Amino acid sequence: MPKKSLVNYVKSLVQKGYDVSAIRNVLLKYGYTDREIDEAVSSSFKPTIRHEIHLSHTTVLVIIFIFLSLIGIASFFYYNPSKSPIQLLDLNLEPVATTVAAGESIVFLKELSNLGSAERYDVVIKQEVIEPVTNKVITQKIETRAIETFGSTQTRVLIPDDTKTGDYILRAIVEYGNKKAVATLPIKIVAERKETCFDSIKNQNEDGIDCGGICRPCESQAIECNDNNPCTDDVLEDNICTSKPIVPCCGNNICEENEICTADCKKTEEYSQLISTETLEEIKELAKSDPNKALQQCNALEVPDLKDTCIGNIGEAQRNKNYCSQIINARIKDLCYSNIAKSINDNSLCEAISIESRKDSCYMTFVLDNKDYSVCDKITNKHLRQSCESLKQLNELNQQATPQE
């Protein structure tokens, strides 16, 4: 004869909508035997007890995506300035487009920041597209790059022609030494190429290539091609302006490989010798007692990213978000708001972050570290929001797991 308190507990969970398999797992965790559980469930509503755990397709997908999301979030927030190793990288992916047709290339920006050593070293970067249900890699691209301070490059990964329509995960993995940095980005692949006014094809009743019909009027006069970017070579081909990147480019504030440009490389070389991680740590330590003097030292730095990182360190030391607004680099500014939000345990600061993917990662930090599920509705990425809601339900189930005698 099952305990009446156990039967009442099972009934209350069933009425709240919990699955019998989930109730069984919790009771087993707290020491109840299979026989006790079966008798309690039978006395509750007399179902046929089957010792199986059924996971729906949606549940499997959510579990897999939670695993992938945790990997991406962990790499995104892996930043501990108080114990900077010799080599430490921050990896971030920014989409140029999140939807791509099979047979075409997905285009995205890959941002790599060297947060540790001031010396240049080689890293291996693997970009791959993954089918989230099976975790199968449908395509990948591997390259080697030399990293010195900060670099942002546009990357293309070709999608196979026979790829099925659906949601996929774009994942980038950077290997350096015995360490890894990982970032992920949700993308959608469609079977057919959508006709547009920018596809370099005469279609959809156009009078010319990408002009006439529903597109811009075709021009008979000569077309002047100029995107006002000094780092591109603008040419007219088949009545279409195309911009080809100039690499290396002098004047873009990036010292690229094999570049001989005083404007881009001289200051970087000089300051990589003068400014080290230890110097920034000394200024951060000073900021705890004299933030005004620390700010003067930060403003004296001529390398923009070093200056922004230095100001962000003052904001963390003072636990004051107002310093973040003085930062120019959007990525470093977002990191400043995120770090201060965690240090003062205030998830409202996540709203100040400019990029939605970084803002979602900030909210997920509160979910994973503080079990703060009040932010679930603020997460814009539907997969991360579903993960948040699933973690919330599991937490509620665990809180009710101990039956009252």
Supply the CATH number for residue 101's domain.
2.60.40.3880
Q: Verify that 316 and 354 share a domain, yes or no.
A: yes
- Is residue 155 included in any domain, yes or no? yes
pLDDT for 71 beyond 70: no
> Can you read off the two tokens belonging to residue 145?
């790059």
Predicted pLDDT at 38: 82
Q: Is residue 44 included in any domain, yes or no?
A: yes
Looking at the structure, do residues 267 and 326 belong to the same domain, yes or no?
Answer: yes
Whether residues 327 and 373 fall in one domain: yes
The answer to whether residue 83 scores a pLDDT higher than 70 is no
C-alpha torsion 50→53→56→60, nearest 10: -170
Question: How many separate domains does the chain show?
Answer: 3
> pLDDT value at position 347?
93
Answer yes or no: do 375 and 310 share one domain.
Answer: yes
Give the rounded distance of the alpha carbon of 304 from its chain centre.
24
Least confident window among 267-276, 289-298, 322-331, 350-359: 267-276
Band of residue 327 on the pLDDT scale cut at 50, 70, 90: very high
Tell me, yes or no, whether 61 lies in a domain. no
| Conformational region of residue 216, where left means phi above 0, alpha means psi within -120 to 50, and beta covers everything else | beta
- Gap between the Cα atoms of 141 and 162, Å rounded: 18
**Co-location of 49 and 88 in the same domain:** no
Residue 253: pLDDT band by 50, 70, 90 thresholds?
confident
Instruction: Say yes or no: 33 and 109 in one domain.
Output: no
Model confidence at 260, pLDDT cuts 50, 70, 90, reads low
Rounded to whole angstroms, how far apart are CA atoms 384 and 398? 21
Q: Are 308 and 328 in contact (CB under 8 A)?
A: yes
Q: How far is CA 17 from the centre of its chain?
A: 33
The per-residue pLDDT of the chain, averaged, comes to 78
Rounded Cα distance, 283 and 279, in Å: 6
Residue 256 lies in a domain: no
Which residues are CB-contacts of 283 (< 8 A; sequence separation ≥ 6)?
294, 297, 298, 310, 313, 314
**In a shared domain, residues 266 and 376:** yes
CA proximity to 106, closest of 174, 189, 184: 189
Note whether 32 and 120 are same-domain residues.
no
Q: What is the distance between the alpha carbons of residues 341 and 367, in angstroms, rounded to a whole number?
A: 13
pLDDT at res. 122: 77
The Cα 399–Cα 396 span in angstroms is 5
Share of the chain above pLDDT 70, in %: 73
Is the pLDDT confidence value at 216 over 50?
Answer: yes
Compute φ and ψ for 267, nearest 5 degrees.
-65, -35
Query: What is the extent of the structural domain holding 18?
Result: 4-54
Q: Which of 172, 183, 167 is nearest to 62 (CA)?
A: 167
- pLDDT per position as a tens digit, 138-196: 999 998 877 766 677 888 899 998 888 989 999 999 887 777 788 888 999 987 666 77
Could you tell me if 88 and 172 lie in one domain?
yes
Task: Give percent of the chain with pLDDT exceeding 90.
Answer: 22
The 10 Å Cβ neighbour count of residue 292 is 8
User: Each residue of 147-183: b (16+ CB within 10 Å) or e?
Assistant: bbbbbebebebebeeebeeeebbbbbbbbbeeebbbb
pLDDT in tens, 88-144: 667 888 887 788 888 888 888 888 776 555 566 778 899 999 988 788 999 999 988
* Structure confidence at residue 348 (pLDDT): 94
Q: Is residue 140 part of a domain?
A: yes
Residue 353 lies in a domain: yes
Tell me the pLDDT tens digit for each residue of 348-385: 999 999 999 899 989 988 988 888 999 999 999 988 88
69 within some domain:
no
Inside any domain, residue 403: no
334 and 375 share one domain: yes
pTM over 0.75: no
d(CA 70, CA 166): 22
Same domain, 280 and 352: yes
Q: What is the mean pLDDT of residues 253-260?
A: 68
